[in-house]
Structure 1
């Protein structure tokens, strides 16, 4: 098979070593005679897989002891409903949820939360077409809000928070980190909740990860389904219902792989180098454009546009012949997008840069 580099925004590239191990263990996991997909989620074999995954993720992110790690289903979009159903009950009703609107995914979160609470858009970069992050001093926050929601990396729009806000009250910060979790060092203690779909840096689609501070458990609205009540899920160690077992298994392999590779600090160094290499090529002249303010450019998702967009199809066809796949931008914004998650090697980014230079005729 011709070697390819997959720049898909998600489901996305996984480490080759992980895929090879999963393939080797597909029919018989560690002499059990069973595939992981065939195991009881309550049996000792899978419980050991689950416990290893929790242990390794806690080590990777230095997650404090007073935080629970939950594995759920439904993806990041469903979690946009599960979050308010678990948190707005902490405050007297009607509760208010604060949002910083920085792109497509925070926009989806706002619309979903409005079904369960009053929403205050404390700040928005919509007026500049989501190419920046509003300065924290401009945020109009609600005293006593149920929580402040941030999408700390906008997969479609390509903006990323490079700071953690400091709030003056006890309002917990909820962060959708779907598309950059495990790519950079994060102080988990600064957040009340971190959540994300797995299909970017962790594993296959279908698995959702929630990291939640223990004091935020137990306030779910009566309408919250029991399988999505974080307190119930935590009490049963993510086994209240049948969890996405194979997704947890692959995630565990990824966590172990990252630890062997030097952990999150090593990933961050590599991601800085990959992003710098790509952005430097895009900025070399005006043949290509990245419209995001330099101080909040995403290291994971790099949208860009050709100056002459009539060349888009020719560009994509040429990229495909070179094994550079999934570069077409999201349908809502057009252009191109290169997603360079943890598993994308720097050789893949260099191959893309070589093609960018060749196509531009440099």
Structure 2
């Protein structure tokens, strides 16, 4: 039976990425060697890294605008450290928007480096919305936000205008929607939620903001050193980077970000329309802040859960239970999830209504 993968991460990937990746595990570029065993310094893999980094900038519309793309390791969690290491000045401060668990974790790490001003938070409402009408201190070294919150199903639909560098954790919605990415000075994202296999972390940084902190930065945390080494300062996650390249190629061949955005909107509209229509369900996030990537919803009557759970499992749906912080259900609709899979879930929700209400 076909599986419909709603996992929040590691996530669904395009079938052709699985097929090409599987072939590379057996024999990469007809070399007689597996992608898992080739040297990261080999000509074949250097070409992979170069193409992946260039394709990132092309898809984001940042070519020739002073940005560098890096494939690093440690996930977004290491970036919580690397950002203040590189951008927070000695005796300086940073401004953070608290919109969820990962934003909160980033704040905790930043506080190790200096004064960290939380300009707004939705924590008291269990992160069910994106705060508005906050003020960003003009003397902060940078402003940090999280564009999409996988656990709570919220997404920033607009971003503040400020004269200080803007840093954004886009781990769960990178490459999913068209934005003016030049408005951001640093973007980071774990690959495993929308871009590739777990093990690689994408960083896109405007070079002119670096080298101004006045602090000594450990080499492995220094963006400038990684840029100079062309993402080869230490041994990269070879297979994870290759999977990212395959996924980026797939995205480009399917209309790029603008093309996938239309599909993502169609998927989100289909599911949210059913959540709002069906008397058995309710969404958990503020309507204006609903994520196109992660739809979170509850049953109005939990006694229906055993029936619903059996139905969606029977339909081949996987990864639907919500995070313990919210409960209920979470449908992660990343780029590679087809509209067909969303229709299957919607049909099951309608089927439950028929069983319960008739």
TM-score (norm 2): 0.95
Could you say which residue in structure 2 is the equivalent of 1:6? 5
Distance in structure 1 (CA, Å) of the matches to 2:279 and 2:101:
26
Could you say which residue in structure 1 is the equivalent of 2:211? 218
Instruction: Please say if residues 25 and 35 of structure 1, whose CA atoms lie closer than 8 Å, have aligned partners that are also in contact.
Output: yes
Could you say which residue in structure 1 is the equivalent of 2:145? 150
1:190 aligns with 2:183: yes
List per-residue Cα deviations over 1:300-351 (Å, max 9, x = no partner): 0011001112333442232112100110111222111000000000000000
1:15 aligns with 2:10: no
- Counterpart selection for 1:139 from 122, 125, 134: 134
Q: The residue matched to 2:277 in structure 1 has which SS?
A: coil
1:159 aligns with 2:154: yes
Instruction: Please say if residues 96 and 142 of structure 1, whose CA atoms lie closer than 8 Å, have aligned partners that are also in contact.
Output: no
Could you say which residue in structure 2 is the equivalent of 1:111? 108
Within a 5 Å distance, the mapping from 1:1-362 to structure 2 comes to 2-65=1-64, 66-89=66-89, 93-135=90-132, 138-167=133-162, 169=163, 171-219=164-212, 222=215, 224-361=217-354
Q: The residue matched to 1:283 in structure 2 has which SS?
A: helix
Shift of 1:219: 4.1
Aligned CA RMSD, in angstroms, stands at 1.4
TM-score (norm 1): 0.94
Distance in structure 2 (CA, Å) of the matches to 1:123 and 1:318:
40
Instruction: Please say if residues 60 and 259 of structure 1, whose CA atoms lie closer than 8 Å, have aligned partners that are also in contact.
Output: yes
Distance in structure 2 (CA, Å) of the matches to 1:260 and 1:198:
19
Q: Which consecutive segments of 4 or more residues in structure 1 shift more than 3 A?
A: 219-224
Q: The residue matched to 1:130 in structure 2 has which SS?
A: coil
Instruction: Please say if residues 94 and 115 of structure 2, whose CA atoms lie closer than 8 Å, have aligned partners that are also in contact.
Output: yes
Instruction: Please say if residues 54 and 69 of structure 2, whose CA atoms lie closer than 8 Å, have aligned partners that are also in contact.
Output: no
- Runs of 5+ consecutive residues of structure 1 not aligned to the other structure: none
Q: 1:208 to 1:9 in 2, by over 3 A?
A: same
Distance in structure 2 (CA, Å) of the matches to 1:222 and 1:314:
58
Q: 1:27 to 1:285 in 2, by over 3 A?
A: closer
Shift of 1:223: 5.8
List per-residue Cα deviations over 1:82-121 (Å, max 9, x = no partner): 11111103xxx32211111112221111111111121111
Instruction: Please say if residues 218 and 230 of structure 1, whose CA atoms lie closer than 8 Å, have aligned partners that are also in contact.
Output: no
Shift of 1:139: 1.0
Instruction: Please say if residues 82 and 224 of structure 1, whose CA atoms lie closer than 8 Å, have aligned partners that are also in contact.
Output: no
